[in-house]
Amino acid sequence: MDHNIQKELKVSALENGTVIDHIPSNRLFTAIHILNLDKNDNPVYFGTNMSSKKYGSKGIIKISDRFFDREEINKIALVAPTATLIEIKDYKVVSKYSVETPKEVQSFVKCFNPKCITNHQSVPTKFKVFTDDKGVIKLLCNYCEKTTTQENMRFQ
């Protein structure tokens, strides 16, 4: 195989691994951070500001030799509820699915309330996830009972 074609393939197709598609462009780096992809050793490719018929502008992440638990991948539903996943083995698509919003999230989101105990002592955060009348995802803190919205979500 010609060297350039091989290189092209490497970026566009995975032999084994996961493709996360339909991530809103402005959430791509947050999604990478939530999944700790900036700290793992597997090759990771990503693209952003790509045009999408459905969403206008989207981002995509491809991770070689890495498959996710549903629970782990569903964390990104908080910032990218539209994301879809494709799992690839031997260049073939073996499964496709969409992320699902979890009912509860623990430890990786910070509470926005500066007076919350979780921001002062080493208390792991715990939230109930709910969607308001307008379909916006919100997190209810198990401790201070205040609601963290998508705009003020910060990740640990």
Partner 1 sequence: MKNRSLISINDYSKEEYLHILDVAEDFEKNPRQKILENHVVATLFFEPSTRTRLSFESAISQLGGKIIGFTDAASSSTSKGETLMDTIKTVANYSDLIVMRHPLDGSARWASEVSSVPIINAGDGANQHPTQCLLDMYSIRKTQGTLENIHIAFVGDLKYGRTVHSLVIALSQFNATFHLVSPEELKLPSAIKKYIKEAGLKYHQYTEIEEVIDQVDILYMTRIQRERFADPIEYERVKNSYILKDHMLKNTKTNMRVLHPLPRVNEIEEAVDKNPKAYYFQQALNGVYVREAIVATILGLK
* Residue numbers at the binding site for partner 1 (CB under 8 A): 111, 113, 115-118, 120-123, 141-147
Can residue 147 be called a binding residue for Zn ion (CB under 5 A)? no
Among Zn ion, partner 1, none, partner that 147 touches (CB below 5 to 8 angstroms by kind):
partner 1
DSSP 8-state secondary structure symbol assigned to residue 41: S
Among Zn ion, partner 1, none, partner that 54 touches (CB below 5 to 8 angstroms by kind):
none
Contact 61, 37 (CB under 8 A): yes
**Half-sphere exposure for 7 (CA within 13 Å, toward CB):** 3
Give strand pairing partners of 89: 92
Among partner 1, Zn ion, none, partner that 88 touches (CB below 5 to 8 angstroms by kind):
none
d(CA 156, CA 148): 14
Kindly tell me which of 85 and 116 has the beta carbon lying closer to partner 1.
116
Can residue 144 be called a binding residue for Zn ion (CB under 5 A)? yes
Among partner 1, Zn ion, none, partner that 82 touches (CB below 5 to 8 angstroms by kind):
none
Can residue 141 be called a binding residue for Zn ion (CB under 5 A)? yes
Can residue 116 be called a binding residue for Zn ion (CB under 5 A)? yes
Residues 6+ apart with CB under 8 A from 109: 78, 125, 127, 139, 148, 153, 154, 155, 156
Closest to 52 measured CA to CA, from 82, 78, 22: 22
Q: Which of 25, 82, 84, 113 binds Zn ion (CB under 5 A)?
A: 113
Chain residues that interact with Zn ion, rule: CB under 5 A: 111, 113, 116, 141, 143-144
